[in-house]
Amino acid sequence: MMKVLHGALIAAMIAAPVKAQPQAEPAEKTEKIKTGWNLGFLPVVAYDSDIGFKYGAAMKLYHYGDGSVYPKYRHYMGLEWSRTTKGSGINQFLYDSEYLIPGIRVTGEASLLTEKAIDFYGFNGYSAYYDPDYEDDEADNYISRMYYRQERRLTRIKTDFQGKISGPGFKWIAGIEYNRIKTGTVDIAKLNKDKDEGELLPDTALLFDRYVEWGFIDEDQADGGTTTLIKAGLVYDTRDIEANPMKGIWTDVQFMLAPSFLGNGKNDYIRIALTHRQYFTLVPEALSFAYRLSYQTKLTGNMPYYMLPFVYNTAPERTRDGLGGAKTVRGVLLNRVVGEGFLFGNLELRWKFLQTIVFNQNIYLALSGFLDGGMVTGKYELPETVNPEAVDYLNKGADEKLHMGAGAGFHFVMNQNFVVAVDYARALDPDDGVKGLYIGFDFLF
């Protein structure tokens, strides 16, 4: 499969305040205090021979008020809209503020993601056999370029709250989240529309179809379902700057409850997410070291397969797909590490090598080097099977161990909060993929 561009290509970066500012001034060392509204804008352009041409934009809008809380903002709104010519799409609105309700931080999300071919590698990490030749159309044992894919339509609406507890850094967290997820096999006929003969995808069973056929995915869950979560927990946060801390600790524990009385039916469960992050200044205002460790697992109940991949964070971070991919274990294939429980960590060195003022905007450029890793700690139990193909597939799997990736990144940062990130990483084991190029927003944590 030929990809002209992998992921998102930055066609241009426009970072301009909403209200007029002076057009140029000499670079200064003193940072400008920002006031009012500021907008960051990132066009998205990509092409994939199967998914089609991708187009759209992502925007971040910050309100700093009179500047008295800078580099913190009073209100943040994020909007992303993108489409591909074969039907995938992102429609997402984000909001975050400590000032909408005095004394309470409010974080909201409304997302509709239509993914025509999202990664699906099975369950339990290395226990799920992966052969890259199955999706390589030049290999002798090629099956389909879509073999490790499924279709998913995700609607998520959530609101989270944080409030201070007596004592520095301690906060309570609470929230509610609604997920409507529709899953199925990839629509090969739609992806083949308007293709040349040599680029057609074969109409064959994919790994997702095998999992349903073998009973590894319950027929009642194969089409997806709805899950409503209640969240509660505690946070300890002493970071100096949220977007890219130079010092401090950020630790949180949260419980996600999916009770049957909220429409979850027999798929009621309780899950815990415990995450610790710490930041160290090595050279003042220039060089820092950061690490993150997270353990997330089901405590009790019946978690449906379509809720397994999600990695939970507290504001301002968002719920992510994983493990693997841009926001968890870079270099490793997205959703390669899926189970009822998992552990992951990141080590990252960050260097601000240029800090200046351009068009009255505070700008800095940063480089980073990182090492990421993660593994399944709680397996998703598969039913016993006598199907010869299923037994052969399970026998090809390996014992679970750490999945790792390493790489480097570049960051463009405006006014401390608007961060465009470009990360390149390679997997350290070929069973996890080869490499990944990720272009998006924000430091990893």
Q: Best-predicted range by mean pLDDT among 42-51, 188-197, 213-222?
A: 213-222
Q: Quick check: 24 pLDDT over 50?
A: no
Task: Please report, rounded to a whole number, the percentage of residues in the chain having pLDDT higher than 90.
Answer: 85
Q: What CATH number did the domain enclosing 136 receive?
A: 2.40.160.50
Rounded average pLDDT over 44-54: 81
pLDDT tens-digit readout, 127-147: 999 999 999 999 999 999 999
Rounded average pLDDT over 342-346: 98
Confidence of residue 167 (pLDDT cuts 50, 70, 90): confident
Within-domain flag for 8: no
Within-domain flag for 138: yes
Within-domain flag for 7: no
SS (H, E, C) the chain: CCCCCCCCECCCCEEEECCCCCCCCCCCCCCCCCCCEEEEEEEEEEEECCCEEEEEEEEEEEECCCCCCCCCCCEEEEEEEEEECCCCEEEEEEEEEEEEECCEEEEEEEEEEEEEEEECCCCCHHHCCCCHHHHCCCCCCCCCCCCCEEEEEEEEEEEEEEEECCCCCEEEEEEEEEEEEEEECCCHHHHHCCCCHHHCCCCCCCHHHHHHHHCCCCCCCCCEEEEEEEEEEEEEECCCCCCCCCCEEEEEEEEEEECHHHCCCCCCEEEEEEEEEEEEEEECCCEEEEEEEEEEEEEEECCCHHHCCEECCCCCCCCEECCCCCCCCCCCCCCCCCCCEEEEEEEEEEEEEEEEEECCEEEEEEEEEEEEEEEEEECCCCCCCCCHHHHHHHHHCCCCCCEEEEEEEEEEEECCCEEEEEEEEEECCCECECEEEEEEECCCC
pLDDT tens-digit readout, 280-334: 999 999 999 999 999 999 999 999 999 999 999 998 888 888 899 999 999 999 9
Q: What range defines the domain where residue 192 resides?
A: 14-441
Within-domain flag for 4: no
pLDDT at site 6:
38
Within-domain flag for 20: yes
pLDDT at site 22:
38
Within-domain flag for 40: yes
Rounded average pLDDT over 174-187: 97
pLDDT at site 14:
38
Within-domain flag for 376: yes
Within-domain flag for 377: yes
pLDDT at site 5:
37
When divided into structural domains, the chain yields a total of 1
